[in-house]
Amino acid sequence: MAIAIAAALALFTLGFGMISGRIEKSILTPPMVFVTFGLGISPLMLQVIDVNHHGGIIDIIATTTLVMVLFTDSSRIDLKLLRRQHTLPVRLLGVGLPITIGLGAVVAWLLFPSFNSWEAVAIAAILAPTDAALGQAVVSSPSVPVRIRQALNVESGLNDGICLPILLMALSLASRAEGGATAGYWLSFALAQVLLGPVAGIGVGFIGGGLVSRSARLHWMNENYQRLSLVAIAVLAYCGAELIGGNGFIAAFCAGLTLGNTARVVCPRLYEFGETEGQFLVLVTFLIYGGVMITPTMVGANGAVILYALLSLTLVRMIGVAISLLGLSLRFDTQLFLGWFGPRGIASVLYVLLVLDQDGLPNRDLIFTIVVVTVLLSVFAHGVTAFSGANWYARRMNSIQDTSQVVEHDSVDEMPVRTPYRAQHGEMLEMSASGVNLTF
């Protein structure tokens, strides 16, 4: 069975690669395609995947993917630029994100009476991180003002790492609320996870990044081994934190953030990894999501679950964004654009797997169902609307006669975007006012 899965994945990846250039010019996105393929080989359809026999492999892939996503995403964030130029993402992260988690928790507590308050916070924290790669046409489109697309890009790069300690604290307190160990035990456990992880991550990122950058400057290390060494730093940060009682995922995030701001000269090698091997891991995770996570949720996907998913993707996110942008003189269509393009993707999928490891959580199956349904809606809704949404917003901004008075056009320096396939190859998005090019 494992050979059959590997063969199916290899054939599909080869086939997808052969038409990937054409797909980039359509409303289809790679996550949509891989989720659909995963569903096709799931127990519901072709029955190629059997999660009962491959659960260990899935855990390894999920852990590896989450470590690399947190590490590479955070390494793209230039903290000096963030403090100096990027007011929008700071507002979205510092004000909008807590409000979004708070509103999401309140809605969950109201819709699902069986949730205790910390379970409600946990589901809100899982679904708060955004995934800009699901709306790639938005964050890489030259027609969208740099300030706006960079706000979404930076927000996506940082909010998954910010939400993780909140999730860990919520899960610990939720388990304690169900009569597990003492409050002191759970508090010390949560604090160790949240505090020791950054210590390990910052230390490994700073020392490891310094060693690699120095070796590269002396021409002791070629580019291929720079890539391998940077991946090794991510693994060391994860393992180091776990060995001292911290959280390895938080350590990976902090290591990437530290390396990206202290050894930026070698970061292009890391970005290259992220756009090839890292992208493959992400797409395999979406395939696993389609193959083993969607089918078990169909029975529990009732009206309340679907309603929560819709509210999470719309009002909960949009209200948080609107409040965070008060006083910045942004147009209403800009606030609507930023509010809608907060797709939920790889971080939410991987975080909900952490919930499945919590034996003391009585509603973990319900949390799992809510997350899977929400991400499924987001993958297709945000993927399909990325081109048309960017077109619509570009037309609105281009209709303004005097752009000097529009704060959306304020100049900011760009930071690297995850999977910037068009930007890397110098291709212009086909963003004509007449609509989306669907030609294959």
Q: Is 179 left (phi over 0), alpha (psi -120 to 50) or beta?
A: left
Q: Is 439 left (phi over 0), alpha (psi -120 to 50) or beta?
A: beta
Q: For residues 184-203, give the mean pLDDT.
A: 81
Work out the pLDDT band at 1, boundaries 50, 70, 90: low
Q: For the segment 51-60, what is each residue's pLDDT rounded down to a tens digit?
A: 554 567 788 8
Q: For the segment 293-334, what is each residue's pLDDT rounded down to a tens digit?
A: 998 888 788 999 999 999 999 999 999 999 999 999 899 999
Distance, CA of 126 to chain centre: 10
Q: For the segment 215-270, what is each residue's pLDDT rounded down to a tens digit?
A: 999 989 988 888 889 999 999 999 999 999 889 999 999 999 999 999 988 888 88
Q: What pLDDT does 236 receive? A: 97
CA dist 133 and 378 (Å) reads 12
Q: For residues 203-207, give the mean pLDDT.
A: 96
CA dist 218 and 94 (Å) reads 40
Q: What pLDDT does 85 receive? A: 73
Read off the tokens for 160: 């998954």
Work out the pLDDT band at 192, boundaries 50, 70, 90: confident
The alpha-carbon radius of gyration of the chain (Å, integer) is: 21
Read off the tokens for 123: 């589901």
Q: What pLDDT does 167 receive? A: 93
Distant-in-sequence, close-in-space partners of 369: CB < 8 Å, separation ≥ 6: 297, 300, 301, 305
For tokens 């991510």, what's the residue?
Answer: 234
**Better pLDDT: 439 or 65:** 65
CB 317 within 8 A of CB 100: yes
Read off the tokens for 174: 């939720």
Q: What pLDDT does 256 receive? A: 95
**Worst-scoring range by mean pLDDT, 99-103, 242-246, 419-423?**
419-423
Q: What pLDDT does 187 receive? A: 66
CB 371 within 8 A of CB 126: yes
Q: What pLDDT does 184 receive? A: 66
pLDDT over threshold 70, residue 434: no
Q: For the segment 45-84, what is each residue's pLDDT rounded down to a tens digit?
A: 777 776 554 567 788 888 999 999 999 989 988 888 888 7
Cα-Cα-Cα-Cα dihedral sign, residues 409, 415, 418, 423: positive
Q: For the segment 81-97, what is each residue's pLDDT rounded down to a tens digit?
A: 888 777 899 999 999 99
pLDDT over threshold 50, residue 18: yes
CB 91 within 8 A of CB 115: no
Q: For the segment 126-181, what is each residue's pLDDT rounded down to a tens digit?
A: 999 999 878 878 887 888 888 898 899 899 989 999 999 999 888 888 876 655 55
CA dist 259 and 206 (Å) reads 6
- Domains of the chain from N-terminus onward: 2-20+27-400 (1.20.1530.20)
pLDDT over threshold 80, residue 404: no
CA dist 34 and 285 (Å) reads 9
For tokens 């720079």, what's the residue?
Answer: 226
